[in-house]
């Protein structure tokens, strides 16, 4: 893939201030479609569309214990990565000569790569957490983790969104966080039954962190994305607490007996998994839309903002509360109400 060299190679995408990095659209020619689609797909493995499908699917169809671990580590890693970006303020690779294939996150800073951090965290947390619960060849587990994280990391270079240093920084930070937090993983698993005050702490602390997020020189989606992530983590934690407090689900064993043989993927199992996933996603999307519309309407009325003013959503006092309420509700719904709906519909 190379940029087209002509007088129209670069077009101004939007007006920017002297403090905001320019966003350009570059015309380019794809010379190798295999690499192009491979790394565009790999980049999607580190984006929201992957996490809102993989993490709920893991919870509903594989192992709630495993999904909780993945979500907690994912939230921790992403928050540190997002904050580090707005503290360090290292720019992304210059374009040109780099061709940027993504547009939404151009306004964010580059160091560290949160795609690399999240992919590494998900892959190796999955690896470590399944070692005592499921038996399958360790080499296979390790290869899956390495291939997954490597593809996402390389995609950030191919799409022109990060430098090698950004990616390596993200991987090393994640590795350090996993090493430092691993001794506390079992303790964290028990927090959902530790105290009746846990939901209060889970709401207050993340909301405080979101509302006091580092101030940027210009608007970028970083604060909104961080709020979404912390709120989803808070919702999931509260959902697990609700399940324990009201005895809606039994507490998983800290270490299940190792499953000697993982069941083969049969047609009925596949149909059941897809059905449970479809039912759950539909309910989540419905809850997200309803809560978002309601919270925005309340905030617009409170701050006397015109409803059709989309720019108002970027204001701190509106963006953080509506995002936080919306995705906390999504997390609670995914861990509490969706499993209840599955049981009601007779979906084991």
Q: Which residues are catalytic?
A: 115, 162
Token pair, residue 192, equals 């959902």
**Cβ atoms 292, 326 nearer than 8 A:** yes
**Cβ atoms 90, 161 nearer than 8 A:** no
Rg (CA), the chain: 21
Name, in order, each residue with C-beta under 8 angstroms of 206's C-beta and a sequence gap of 6 or more. Answer: 230, 231, 233, 234, 324
Burial track 84-97 (b if 16+ CB lie within 10 A, e otherwise): bbbeeebebbebee
3-state secondary structure of 38: helix
Token pair, residue 22, equals 């320019």
Look at the block and give the residue holding tokens 């270079």: 157
Token pair, residue 180, equals 């430092």
Closest CA to 66 of 57, 75, 53: 57
**Cβ atoms 46, 118 nearer than 8 A:** yes
Four-point Cα dihedral 211, 77, 162, 91, nearest 10: 30
Phi, psi of 307 (to 5 degrees): -60, -40
Phi, psi of 196 (to 5 degrees): -65, -15
3-state secondary structure of 253: coil
How many Cα atoms sit within 13 Å of 323 on the Cβ side?
Answer: 24
Beta bridge partners of 10: 26
Look at the block and give the residue holding tokens 């587990």: 141
């Amino acid at each position: 893939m190379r940029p087209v060299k002509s007088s129209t190679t670069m077009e101004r995408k939007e007006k920017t201030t002297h403090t905001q990095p320019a966003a350009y659209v570059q015309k380019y020619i794809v010379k190798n479609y295999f690499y192009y689609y491979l790394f565009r797909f790999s980049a999607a493995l580190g984006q929201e569309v992957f996490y809102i499908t993989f993490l709920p699917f893991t919870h509903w169809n594989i192992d709630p214990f495993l999904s909780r671990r993945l979500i907690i580590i994912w939230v921790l890693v992403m928050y540190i990565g997002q904050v580090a970006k707005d503290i360090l303020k290292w720019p992304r690779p210059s374009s040109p000569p780099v061709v940027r294939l993504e547009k939404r996150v151009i306004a964010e800073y580059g160091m560290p790569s949160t795609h690399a951090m999240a992919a590494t965290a998900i892959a190796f947390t999955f690896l470590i957490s399944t070692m005592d619960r499921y038996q399958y060849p360790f080499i296979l587990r390790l290869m899956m983790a390495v291939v997954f994280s490597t593809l996402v990391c390389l995609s950030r270079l191919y799409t022109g969104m990060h430098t090698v240093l950004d990616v390596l920084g993200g991987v090393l930070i994640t590795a350090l966080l996993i090493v430092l937090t691993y001794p506390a993983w079992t303790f964290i698993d028990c927090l959902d039954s530790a105290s009746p005050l846990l939901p209060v702490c889970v709401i207050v602390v993340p909301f405080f962190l979101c509302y006091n997020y580092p101030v940027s020189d210009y608007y970028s989606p970083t604060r909104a994305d961080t709020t979404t992530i912390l709120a989803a983590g808070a919702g999931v934690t509260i959902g697990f607490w609700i399940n324990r407090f009201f005895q809606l689900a039994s507490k998983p064993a800290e270490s299940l007996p190792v499953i000697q043989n993982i069941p083969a993927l049969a047609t009925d199992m596949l149909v059941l998994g897809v059905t449970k996933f479809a039912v759950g996603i539909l309910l989540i999307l419905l809850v997200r839309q309803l809560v978002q519309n309601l919270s925005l309407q309340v905030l617009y009325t409170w701050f006397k903002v015109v409803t059709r003013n989309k720019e108002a959503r970027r204001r701190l006092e509106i963006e953080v509360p509506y995002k936080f309420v919306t995705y906390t509700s999504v997390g609670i719904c995914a861990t509490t109400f969706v499993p209840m709906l599955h049981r009601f519909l007779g979906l084991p």
